[in-house]
Structure 1
Amino acid sequence: MSLGKLQNTFFEFMVEEDAATAVEYAVMLALIIAVCMTSVTFLADATRDSFDSSGDAIAGAIGN
């Protein structure tokens, strides 16, 4: 491969934006998944605490 062809290939690679776009989408998807998983974890904890409090209140009202 000649030096000129190698330079052209390198410059074409640097100008091409498809690979960068795919990486950007992958990073955005990873961040969205991380936020969703964190939100579900906190929501599950809050829901469990709420049901525990409700159960304790009902048990206290019944006298158990």
Structure 2
Amino acid sequence: MTNFLKTFVADESGASAAEYALILIVIGIAIVAGATTLATSIGGAMTGTATCIDDPTVAGAC
């Protein structure tokens, strides 16, 4: 039983998997945040373009 506990405590194979999972989670969060920011920027650009096409006399839109 003592040998099993020593082996269990010394085993680090699960630590690598946990580290890779943590890295993937952080990368996933960064991708979602970047995509959200990009979508907001593109939406704003499209809205401005639509305003110019719809009514070119709007001040500051074109």
Alignment partner of 2:5 out of 6, 10, 15: 10
Matched with 2:23 is 28
TM-score, with length taken from structure 2: 0.78
Report the count of equivalent residues: 58
Question: 1:52 deviation in Å?
Answer: 0.2
Question: 1:61 deviation in Å?
Answer: 2.3
TM-score, with length taken from structure 1: 0.76
Q: Any stretches of 5+ residues in structure 1 without a counterpart?
A: 1-5
Identity %: 25
Q: Any stretches of 5+ residues in structure 2 without a counterpart?
A: 58-62
Higher relative contact order (CA 8 A, sep 6+): 2
Larger Rg: 1
Query: Which consecutive aligned stretches of 4+ in structure 1 deviate over 3 angstroms post-superposition?
Result: none
How far, CA to CA, are the matches of 1:10 and 1:47 in structure 2?
57
Q: Name whichever structure is richer in helix by fraction.
A: 1
RMSD in angstroms over aligned alpha carbons?
1.8
